[in-house]
Structures are given as structure tokens and as C-alpha cells.
């Protein structure tokens, strides 16, 4: 496969400029690229430009804006073909609906430049189903970000049944060249990796409030001020390896394996029936009463900025990877 040098990409397309796509657009603009975007929603261009404007100071503070970056390099097009013209990479972030994406992929496939890779931001759909029937399926990969993409470094990368392994390698190199932390998934599974990890936690959070074990407020506090702090700086296997002392993970598993097995066996599935959904909605609505979503998002971004800045500084000062 004849693909351009991943670190030399200058023109990218954003197909779908909602919350995720607009965040991607801001990030790529900050990396000095020209961004060509399309989204069919009313007011999409104005919303996209507002997102870029709001994200720019944060990107600058994180040191993610390169010297020649210019938010004026954002173009908005009336159709997908216009947004795809002469680009070297495509980040698709359309709504999470398989039939919609399959239809959209037909349009993208017909207009995709010969050497461009398409990456989908899909949260959990299988690329094999989305790429089926496309002439350029070999260059279609999943490039799933963690929301918001302009702040969170992680990107999950994997291919579908028709994806050329070289396209997966290329996408990983591309994201990493742009300051992301790309990971490779070796096969498809609904929800990829990260959302399955989150689903396990979310299930237990829901079970805790449904059973009366703890309130919505206390579950959030428990995660934020307990495991969330550790998981923000180390992965679960690293944490367990440390917990095992000089014996490492082997000692941890030998010492706590039986207890872990007991806890895991005691976990119960949560069935999101209409009645359960209604109860969860009421409990969370009550807990969030008076908390403006925009203000909550601002709080999240401010805390993320402080966390990422501190991590970057400590890693730099300590010479950590």
C-alpha cells in the first residue's frame, strides 16, 4: 500500500462535526493542518467554529499548538465530496448508527483520495460491518478517541476483516506523530477495549445505587477520590504489580486471587429494563439537580487541563516516558 509519510500529513477531512468531530478538528488545526469539514446538521459550521475557538487556548496551554498552526485553515463544505478533495487523512465521526455509517461510507468510498486512510471514531461498531462492499475497504480503520479528543491522548486503533494491516500500522504512527497515545487492538469486539472497561465500572455503579449500597453522589466521590486518582497515573496491571510488593503481580494474584474471584462471582448483571432505566434517570437527575451541563463540562476540562499539564511536567522533569 502506497501511503504518505504519517508525520507529513497536512490536509485532513472531518466527516461529522458534532461533539467528537469538532474536537478532532480543533486538535488537527492545532497541529498545523488544514481541516476540511462536513456535517449536515443545521448550524453545524457555526457550532464547529465556536468549538475550535473555545478549544484553542486550552491547546496552547498544553503545548499542542505548533508554531505555524492557524485556526483560519478550517474550511466547511456543503457535501462530503468537497470535504474529501485532496485530503491525506479522514476522521469520520458520524452518529453511532450502523446503517447511517454504511450509507455514508458509500459516499466516502466514491470520493476518497487514492492514498488516504479513513479512521472512524465509532464508539463500538465493528469496522467489518461498516466497510463491507467498499472498494477502498483496505484503507478503513477504527480510530476511536476518548472524549474530548482535543484533550485526551488515547486513541484505539484496529482494522476490520478487509483492512490491510499496513493501514492499521500507518494510523498508529500517524496518531502518535501528532502527540496522541495510540494503542493497537488485535481483533474486533463490540465496544472495542476502553468502552468495555468503562461498561464494567458503569454496571457496578448502577448496581450500587439500584441496590441502595450507596448514593449517586457517593459513588461519584468514591471513583474520583479513590481508584480514579491512581488510574489517572498508572494502569490496572501496573497498580496490581505494585500492590504485590517485591513479588510483583505474581504475589498480588497469589495473595488476593481468591478474594478477587469471590468478588467477581458476586457481581450481578444489570438489566436495563424500562423500569430500571426510569429509576436510574430519577436518581441521577436528583443528584445532578442544579448542575448546568455547560458548567460541568467546563469543570471537567479545567481539571483535565491541570492534570495533563502536571503529568507532562513531572514526566519531563523526571525523565519518564
DSSP state of 226: T
Biggest CA–CA distance in the chain, Å, is 61
Cα(280)–Cα(136) distance, integer angstroms: 43
pLDDT given for residue 71 in this prediction: 97
Task: Encode pLDDT of 34-74 as tens digits.
Answer: 999 999 999 999 999 999 999 999 999 999 999 999 999 99
| C-alpha dihedral sign at 161, 165, 170, 171 | positive
CATH fold of 6-184 reads Rossmann fold (3.40.50)
Cα-Cα-Cα-Cα torsion 121, 200, 232, 251, nearest 10 degrees, comes to: -130
What's the mean pLDDT when you consider all of the chain? 96
CATH architecture of 194-289: Orthogonal Bundle (1.10)
pTM for the full model? 0.94
User: How is residue 304 written as a grid cell?
Assistant: 483535565
Cα(159)–Cα(187) distance, integer angstroms: 8
Buried b (16+ CB within 10 A) or exposed e, 262-298: eeeeeeeebeeeeeeeeebeebeeeeeeeeeeeeeee
pLDDT given for residue 37 in this prediction: 98
Domain ranges for the chain: 6-184, 194-289
CA-based radius of gyration for the chain:
21
Task: Encode pLDDT of 78-114 as tens digits.
Answer: 999 999 999 999 999 999 999 999 999 999 999 999 9
* Three-point CA angle 84, 88, 90, nearest 5°: 55
pLDDT value at 321 more than 80:
no
Task: Encode pLDDT of 124-178 as tens digits.
Answer: 999 999 999 999 999 999 999 999 999 999 999 999 999 999 999 999 999 999 9
pLDDT given for residue 218 in this prediction: 98
Ranges assigned E (strand) in 181-276: 181-184
Cα(25)–Cα(174) distance, integer angstroms: 15
Amino acid at each position: 500500500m502506497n501511503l504518505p509519510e504519517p508525520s507529513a500529513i497536512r490536509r485532513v477531512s472531518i466527516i461529522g462535526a458534532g461533539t467528537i468531530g469538532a474536537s478532532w478538528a480543533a486538535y488537527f488545526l492545532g497541529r498545523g493542518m488544514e481541516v476540511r469539514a462536513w456535517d449536515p446538521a443545521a448550524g453545524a459550521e457555526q457550532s464547529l467554529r465556536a468549538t475550535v475557538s473555545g478549544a484553542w487556548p486550552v491547546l496552547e496551554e498544553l503545548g499542542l499548538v505548533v508554531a505555524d498552526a492557524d485556526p483560519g485553515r478550517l474550511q466547511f463544505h456543503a457535501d462530503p465530496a468537497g470535504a474529501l478533495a485532496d485530503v491525506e487523512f479522514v476522521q469520520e465521526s458520524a452518529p453511532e448508527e450502523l446503517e447511517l455509517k454504511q450509507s455514508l461510507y458509500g459516499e466516502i468510498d466514491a470520493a476518497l483520495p487514492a492514498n488516504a486512510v479513513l479512521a472512524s471514531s465509532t464508539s463500538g461498531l465493528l469496522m467489518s460491518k461498516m466497510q463491507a462492499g467498499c472498494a477502498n475497504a483496505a484503507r478503513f480503520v477504527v480510530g476511536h478517541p476518548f472524549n474530548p479528543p482535543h484533550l485526551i491522548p488515547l486513541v484505539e486503533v484496529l482494522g476490520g476483516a478487509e483492512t490491510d494491516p499496513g493501514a492499521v500500522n500507518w494510523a498508529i504512527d500517524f496518531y502518535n506523530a501528532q502527540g496522541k497515545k495510540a494503542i493497537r487492538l488485535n481483533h474486533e469486539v463490540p465496544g472495542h477495549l476502553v468502552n468495555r472497561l468503562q461498561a464494567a465500572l458503569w454496571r457496578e455503579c448502577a448496581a450500587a445505587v439500584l441496590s441502595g449500597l450507596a448514593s449517586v453522589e457517593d459513588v461519584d466521590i468514591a471513583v474520583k477520590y479513590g481508584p480514579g486518582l491512581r488510574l489517572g497515573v498508572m494502569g490496572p496491571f501496573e497498580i496490581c504489580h505494585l500492590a504485590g510488593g517485591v513479588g510483583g503481580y505474581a504475589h498480588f494474584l497469589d495473595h488476593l486471587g481468591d478474594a478477587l474471584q469471590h468478588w467477581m462471582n458476586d457481581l450481578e448483571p444489570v438489566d436495563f429494563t424500562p423500569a430500571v432505566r426510569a429509576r436510574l434517570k430519577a436518581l441521577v437527575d436528583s443528584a445532578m439537580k442544579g448542575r448546568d451541563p455547560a458548567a460541568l463540562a467546563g469543570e471537567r476540562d479545567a481539571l483535565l487541563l491541570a492534570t495533563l499539564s502536571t503529568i507532562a511536567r513531572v514526566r519531563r522533569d523526571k525523565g519518564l516516558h
